[in-house]
């Protein structure tokens, strides 16, 4: 089981409380999308789940295990960022295998996992290129490939498509949906694009200033928003 549970999670930066008591249950295999305006704490929440940011108070469990003080590399998660920082001097193949090799995995295992991720994402023809010879969309696929190679229990995505043009964004959205169907992994996905949220999510979490305003299936939020804020955020055209 790889369910993710947050209980009264809080984050303070200095005197400012940024995350103000978040309770959340994410089931194994669920695709959950965090939405909310810029600065509401989406990335901070994700980074706390990833272990890149300390949790000020509250409890985080993954698969029933308390993770508050567990090293990021031991949480069974992989994170894909908006700015897909690939290593410029390495080929796509090397970029994808690096984390596993670094962790001491055997060459054959690294190769097998990299090849499997390349197959899923149809990266075959690009494997020997360096990042500078890739388009933005291709780079983002490599960044996702790199996460798949690590075979995480939970994928965390922080606005992975916001640097891509509109057409590519639609294409990648479909790719990510397919990926979730194939891998059946738990996904927590941050976006401020409501179309992405509505089409990808099993469950949407609407955040506002560090507080969860509403949690529900996309159509439930659309049909029955808890308040004007949710209505405005989910219902209004971009
Ligand atoms: P979002 O991803 O929803 O745009 P963030 O989680 O990045 O929001 O930021 C939430 C709030 O926390 C913002 O007001 C931001 O300025 C603040 N913040 C984020 N990181 C830090 C930090 N390291 N130190 C101080 N304030 C921070
Ligand atoms: Mg953010």
**Pairing verdict, β 154-158 and 4-13:** unpaired
Question: β-pairing, 16-26 with 154-158?
Answer: unpaired
Mean pLDDT score of the chain, rounded to an integer? Answer: 92
Instruction: Judge whether residue 212 has pLDDT over 70.
Output: yes
Decide: helix, strand or coil at residue 196. Answer: helix
Number of Cα atoms under 13 Å in the Cβ half of residue 36: 25
Residues in the chain: 238
d(CA 44, CA 27): 21
Q: Are strands 203-208 and 31-35 parallel, antiparallel or unpaired?
A: parallel
User: What is the reported pTM?
Assistant: 0.93
Alpha carbon distance 133, 190 (integer Å): 28
Note the ipTM here: 0.98
pLDDT tens, 100-153? 888 889 999 999 999 999 998 889 999 999 999 998 888 988 999 999 998 899
The confidence score (pLDDT) of residue 162 equals 85
Q: Atom of ligand 1 at shortest distance to CA of 37?
A: 3
Confidence of residue 237 (pLDDT cuts 50, 70, 90): very low
Could you tell me which residues come within 8 angstroms of residue 83 by beta carbon, excluding any fewer than 6 positions away?
163
| Vertex 79: Cα angle to 162 and 109 (nearest 5) | 125
Nearest CA to ligand 1 atom 19: 44
Instruction: Assess whether the C-beta atom of 39 lies below 6 angstroms from ligand 1.
Output: yes
Q: In testing the pocket of ligand 1, which one of 35, 36, 41 has its CB within 8 Å of the most ligand atoms?
A: 41
| pLDDT score for 215 | 97
> Does position 86 have pLDDT exceeding 50, yes or no?
yes
CA 155 to chain centre: 5
Calpha distance 44→210 (Å, rounded): 9
d(CA 177, CA 170) in angstroms, rounded, equals 11
């Amino acid at each position: 089981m790889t369910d993710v549970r947050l209980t009264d999670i809080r984050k303070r930066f200095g005197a400012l409380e940024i995350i103000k008591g978040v309770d959340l249950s994410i089931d194994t295999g669920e695709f959950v999308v965090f939405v909310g305006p810029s600065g509401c704490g989406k990335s901070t929440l994700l980074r706390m789940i990833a272990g890149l940011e300390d949790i000020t108070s509250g409890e985080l469990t993954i698969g029933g295990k308390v993770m508050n003080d567990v090293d990021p590399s031991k949480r069974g998660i992989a994170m894909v960022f908006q700015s897909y920082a690939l290593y410029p001097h390495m080929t796509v193949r090397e970029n994808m295998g690096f984390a596993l090799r670094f962790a001491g995995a055997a060459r054959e295992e690294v190769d097998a996992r990299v090849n499997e991720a390349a197959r899923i994402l149809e990266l075959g023809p690009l494997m020997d290129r360096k990042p500078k010879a890739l388009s933005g969309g291709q780079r983002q696929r490599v960044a996702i490939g790199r996460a798949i190679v690590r075979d995480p229990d939970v994928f965390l995505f922080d606005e992975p498509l916001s640097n891509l043009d509109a057409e590519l964004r639609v294409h990648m959205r479909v790719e990510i949906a397919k990926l979730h169907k194939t891998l059946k992994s738990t996904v927590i996905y941050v976006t401020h694009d409501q179309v992405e949220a509505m089409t990808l999510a099993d469950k949407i979490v609407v955040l506002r200033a560090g507080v969860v305003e509403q949690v529900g299936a996309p159509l439930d939020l659309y049909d029955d928003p808890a308040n004007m804020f949710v209505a405005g955020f989910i219902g209004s055209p971009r």
